[in-house]
Amino acid sequence: MASKDTIDTSKIRGAVLAEGTYTFDKMGSILYALGIGFSKDPMHRDHFKFTYENEEGFTTFPTMPVLMLSGAIDKLFSIPGMPAFNPMMLLHGEQTVINYKPITPGETLKIKAIATDIADKGKGALLTVTIQALSDKGEKYSDAIFRFFIRGLGGFGDKGVDTAQTIPAIPKRKPDFTIEDTTTANQALIYRLCGDINPLHIDPNMAAMGGFDKPILHGLCSYGIATRLVYDKYCNNDPTLIKSVSARFTSHVFPGETFVLDAWKEGNTIIFETKTKERGKATVVGAIELKQEEKL
């Protein structure tokens, strides 16, 4: 356990981890969309707006800002006020993306990664990192909020300042919508080309070191897949309806497994949970806030 002397929350909160730019280039936008399962049916014309650069209305999918972490991931291990820790103790616990303006493929935006909070969770610390995407004039396009659980760094006593409940409880009724969606056996090999090249997702030897029978799918890939399934059902082919997506990762997925997604519509919020059909494991639970209920 960490002590009060090894974690300085006053230095951590507000620390700027990285500043620079991120280009949502056309081919990268297409690769991301393919990585989360768009256009598995190449004749599905509605998916072309994410997978074909000449399609009218070609745009990025609203969860793509998660890729901005690639410019700041190494900075997580040198945050002012934080003690050194083993990268294997870092778990991605929750993810939120808040969209303010649509991002056009080819657009280069300024990014700023900030350690916005840290909280003592007993057996570990919950570190919140927010990555902002901004225009040159400072206009907000998106916030990607990452919550990492670092095992072994608990015990410093500060319960944090970010107490917002981003994921509502699952309603106590049958789902309003259920769908199955099978991932491909090489899904992780495609998704890793978006920037997350952790060998855990491709190398069987590294997966074994992590306690897995074989490489696992990226949690953020599961996040994107779940959002895609909700989008196809509730957004009337309009990605600008997705205001925010929040999710908690509860278990892993092996590439090739089948997602079973249950969804509950509560006003303008779609609460969802995904499980693996093969093992019955709950994998992601979350909520998607939509902008206009009347369009649903």
Q: Which residues belong to the active site?
A: 196, 201, 216, 219
Q: For 228-253, b where at least 16 C-beta lie within 10 A, e where not — what string?
A: bbbbbbbbeeebebbbbbbbbbeebb
Return the amino acid letter for 188. Answer: A
Cβ proximity of 143 and 132 under 8 Å: yes
User: Rounded distance, CA 33 to CA 64, Å?
Assistant: 8
Give the CB-side neighbour count of residue 172, counting CA atoms within 13 A.
0
Which amino acid is located at 124 in the chain? G
List, as one string, the DSSP characters of 167-218: SPPPPSS--SEEEEEEPPTTHHHHHGGGS---GGGT-HHHHHHTT-SS----
